[in-house]
A and B are shown apart, each in its own frame.
Chain A
Amino acid sequence: MFNFNFSGEFVAFFVFSVMIISGAVLMVSFTRVVHMVVSLAAVFIGVAGMFVLLEAEFLAFVQVLIYAGAVSILMIFGIMMTKHQDSDAEQAKPLHETLTAIGALALFGILFYAIRQSDFPEPEQALTQGTDNTMEIGKLLFTGYVVPFELVSVLLTVAFIGAIVLAKKEAE
């Protein structure tokens, strides 16, 4: 069942796993909102490390730039512009939390059982080794995925203009 070979990839995977899981668990257990965002940044950086392990270097840099940089800062802005002084602990709902924990654990049990049951065949040929990951992604973006790429740019423009309009202070 656990036939691990202790290669360098496994050690790096273990380190990043500990980083991700501890960051996520701390996010759930902290009571101050700002602490939650900082621990979540650790999760994002850990996921970026896993992308490097999976030979997706461009995605790793995108992850660091957008998640660890932009989204975290955006969330901190959101926290600072709303009421954040009172901690999250009061009015705890033990029944609700217990039921949610049981549900989440059950979902994880089902997923883990499914992952263990299914056998994944070894890939016939490895992912193109030794080539420039960023250049390959750029070629794909401008050949096969041109229409989705342009649609994403339209989506981002519309979303950010909409965000500005929504958050703009109303004239009193």
Chain B
Amino acid sequence: MLSSYLTMAAILFCIGLYGALVKRNAVIILLSIELMLNAVNLNLVAFSKYGVVPSLTGQMFTLFSIAVAAAEAAVGIAVLIALFRARGTVNADEYDEMRR
């Protein structure tokens, strides 16, 4: 059963990686990063139940990772809104200069 969960998380991680590399809208890139983080959380919780030594440590790490991911999402959206105000676009491939 553990390998099923690990395979599931690998599928989710690869779809998130594809989305983060292909999409142009920066909000969608942030969402794809959240997908990859979710895949990692799934692995942590699966190992916390089916690992060699089952314990709650994996769930604790997932809790901290969710908190850090929420902070990352808030700061990412704020940076995006500031960038949009300065440059007038959200497409990541148009952010190609270090300064105006």
Q: Which residues of A are in contact with B by a Cβ distance under 8 Å?
A: 9-10, 13, 17, 20-21, 24-25, 27-28, 33, 36-37, 40, 43-44, 47, 50-51, 54-56, 58-59, 62-63, 66-67, 70-71, 74-75, 77-79, 81-84, 88, 91, 96-97, 100-101, 103-105, 107-108, 111-112, 115-116, 120-121, 123-127, 133, 136-137, 140-141, 145, 148, 152, 155-156, 159-160, 162-164, 166-167, 169-170
Q: Which residues of B are in contact with A by a Cβ distance under 8 Å?
A: 1-8, 10-19, 21-25, 27-28, 30-32, 34-35, 38, 41-42, 45-46, 48-56, 59-60, 62-64, 66-75, 77-82, 84-85, 88-90
Chain B residues whose CB sits within 8 angstroms of the CB of A77 once the complex forms: 77
Chain A interface, >50% SS class: helix
What is the distance, in angstroms, from B78's C-beta to the closest C-beta of chain A? Answer: 4
Known: A88-B23, A123-B53. A75 touches B77 (CB 8 A): yes
Q: Within the complex, which residue of A81, A83, A127, A162 is in contact with B48, where a contact is CB–CB below 8 Å?
A: A127
Q: How far is the CA of A27 from the CA of B15 in the complex (A)?
A: 9
Chain A residues whose CB sits within 8 angstroms of the CB of B54 once the complex forms: 123, 125-127
* Other 8 A-B pairs with CB < 8 A, given A28-B15, A58-B59, A75-B31: A24-B11, A25-B15, A27-B19, A43-B35, A83-B88, A111-B13, A152-B64, A155-B68
CB-based contact B56/A140 at 8 Å: yes
Number of residue pairs spanning A and B whose beta carbons lie under 8 angstroms apart: 212
Q: How far is the CA of A167 from the CA of B79 in the complex (A)?
A: 7
6 contacts between A and B (CB under 8 A): A13-B1, A24-B16, A91-B24, A111-B14, A112-B7, A163-B74
Known: A54-B49, A105-B14. A36 touches B28 (CB 8 A): yes
Which 5 pairs across A and B sit closest by C-beta, in order of nearness?
A: A159-B71, A163-B78, A166-B78, A127-B54, A167-B78
Q: Nearest chain-B residue to A87 (Cβ)? A: B25
CB-based contact B59/A59 at 8 Å: yes
Chain B residues whose CB sits within 8 angstroms of the CB of A127 once the complex forms: 48-49, 54-56
Q: How far is the CA of A169 from the CA of B12 in the complex (A)?
A: 37
CB-based contact B66/A13 at 8 Å: no
Q: How far is the CA of A51 from the CA of B59 in the complex (A)?
A: 10
What is the distance, in angstroms, from B96's C-beta to the closest C-beta of chain A? Answer: 14
What is the distance, in angstroms, from A32's C-beta to the closest C-beta of chain B? Answer: 10
Q: How far is the CA of A28 from the CA of B16 in the complex (A)?
A: 8
